[in-house]
Structure 1
């Protein structure tokens, strides 16, 4: 079935669009495999200081985002995409090498562990946000609807391979050496960026569009914030991301408590987190390659964006009344697979009709500051409540998340008519 799905894509798309889709697939594969090689290491280091300290780490990550976004906005305003996109990835590659040296020096140093947790949390959102900004810029609305599910599958494949590499190699080379592998995988995104810039320039004879990659993104350092605050549509997307983040953070903290209380060895913790990621991402790629395109086409944007939140509202209500590990694992898998395979491609389509400034600046604020702000706020709400309280609160949040997703999807569908 997987091979037939790939052949279907090859038959449906013209040659150049098909090649660009495969390069986008490879770009996302290398990016997420780079991150997911390290995600089990981050989770292990995160619980090493005690799960009670995780809210402080989430808050520190949010503060780091507040500093990073204006810096990114300044770079976008002064340099063309062909320069600032490689710079963003080069910045993170250099820091991977720095943290490799620090962790090799002392992997048990709590401050190095906390710094790495915060840094990787910034890395994961920032680089993926930049990726999707670039994708929504490179592909028009029609191509986005047809290809984003396929391109997302490249990320899910990378997200599946990364934990497999981590769990397979960590026993032999140790957690710190995984950072070198991550740096290599991240470096492989750079040729993909170069190809897609050239491909986009070759799609039109309009001089202003053809050489758009040679122009900085318009607007000032904080122009994205102004766009966000003036647009009800962008504020609605921000609310959707905030509610999604809150829902996911509850699950994340429940998972962290379970692993920390069950396993004490750092290598075992890394392997457990890697195994969970492998299962989630293996299911995600199957859904993306076989079902995502059909789900979006059948349900439309409104019901697609509301579907996973509705499932989570019902699931958390059940967990609140009868908390159990099997139900937690089911909820975790449904939430993450649904997000990666269904919600993310549908959500990114909301940005496809918007202008470049919105895609690179306002969208980046939504994907980073708003998302991590939701993490930080939710993490402080977690400790005072038991399973019943968390379940009921999360169910209410998921219900609001579903309603807002439906409204945003209807708005998007109306713009396509």
Structure 2
């Protein structure tokens, strides 16, 4: 019933798109083929999404970004399971702790999305959305390596989850505004399902391997910090590529003005 209730909203958005000309691309404003009437069918075969992914450095970069996101999340979730079991042996208390964490994450996510996400995107561009959270997670892993306590982990988990829902997810969706409809609906589907879940599985194996070789929690945290730093660098590259494809008028005001002057 809840899913069916979204259908009138979808119809209204398509109507608004046609009335406002949001799907009309003028020469020089965006890459050719970036917009298409949603009423028209999308071509391509069953494996088109996978082939599009493998042929594009931009899409491969998004795929690797998703894998690094899954890796950071998996490392933290494994540590959360270990530290929660140590700090709260009783199952009832564990459930209460998880419920408090979830409620905190959801409340903060709503606030950030309402008051900060849109302003950050307009003022600084998608690059900041894609790099701020990985850099914060890098710092969180380093602190966790020095102080492997539940309190530190809870702070890092809240930071990571709020950042993912309120900043990273909108930023990732923005990356697909410069591609054609077939790429948006097929390659994106491959990235969001197969690539993401493969990243979950591989990162779990990597975490298990690190534990077997080292046996010290700090090693996992340091490995997570290194991967999160690479994640931030990739987010910066993707953001710059995205803004470059949109053109100088789409970036933050200061950068756009400078680009027009050049």
TM norm. shorter chain > 0.5? yes
2:183 matched to which residue of 1?
Answer: 358
1:91 matched to which residue of 2?
Answer: none
2:240 matched to which residue of 1?
Answer: 410
Distance in 2 (alpha carbons) for counterparts of 1:304 and 1:238? 17
Shift of 1:322: 2.1
Q: Are the aligned partners of 1:201 and 1:211 in contact in 2 as well (CA < 8 Å)?
A: no
Instruction: Give the structure with the higher percent helix.
Output: 1
Q: Are the aligned partners of 1:313 and 1:399 in contact in 2 as well (CA < 8 Å)?
A: yes
Distance in 1 (alpha carbons) for counterparts of 2:187 and 2:42? 12
Change (3 A) 1:269 1:194: farther
Does residue 275 in structure 1 map to residue 92 in structure 2? no
Distance in 2 (alpha carbons) for counterparts of 1:360 and 1:214? 14
Q: CA RMSD in A?
A: 2.5
Does residue 347 in structure 1 map to residue 172 in structure 2? yes
Distance in 1 (alpha carbons) for counterparts of 2:235 and 2:39? 36
1:313 matched to which residue of 2?
Answer: 138
Distance in 2 (alpha carbons) for counterparts of 1:301 and 1:199? 24
1:379 aligned to which of 201, 204, 222: 204
Q: Are the aligned partners of 1:350 and 1:412 in contact in 2 as well (CA < 8 Å)?
A: yes
Q: Are the aligned partners of 2:145 and 2:221 in contact in 1 as well (CA < 8 Å)?
A: yes
Change (3 A) 1:197 1:301: closer
What do the CA deviations read for 1:167-203 (whole angstroms, capped 9, x no partner)? xxxxxxxxxxxxxxxxx43332233233333433444
What do the CA deviations read for 1:26-77 (whole angstroms, capped 9, x no partner)? xxxxxxxxxxxxxxxxxxxxxxxxxxxxxxxxxxxxxxxxxxxxxxxxxxxx
Shift of 1:260: 5.1
Shift of 1:264: 5.2
Does residue 190 in structure 1 map to residue 15 in structure 2? no
Please, what TM-score do these two structures have when normalized by structure 1? 0.51
Change (3 A) 1:390 1:226: same
Count of residue correspondences: 230
1:298 aligned to which of 123, 136, 151: 123
Change (3 A) 1:336 1:186: same
Change (3 A) 1:214 1:401: same
Query: Which structure 2 segments of 5+ residues have no match?
Result: 25-34, 249-262
Distance in 1 (alpha carbons) for counterparts of 2:227 and 2:70? 10
2:251 matched to which residue of 1?
Answer: none
Query: Which structure 1 segments of 5+ residues have no match?
Result: 1-183
Change (3 A) 1:411 1:319: same
Distance in 2 (alpha carbons) for counterparts of 1:276 and 1:256? 13
Change (3 A) 1:365 1:332: same
Distance in 1 (alpha carbons) for counterparts of 2:240 and 2:46? 32
Q: Which moved more, 1:314-323 or 1:226-235?
A: 314-323
Shift of 1:211: 9.3
Q: Which moved more, 1:348-357 or 1:338-347?
A: 338-347
1:390 aligned to which of 211, 214, 220: 220
Shift of 1:294: 2.4
Distance in 1 (alpha carbons) for counterparts of 2:150 and 2:93? 19
Please, what TM-score do these two structures have when normalized by structure 2? 0.79
Q: Secondary structure at the match of 2:2?
A: helix
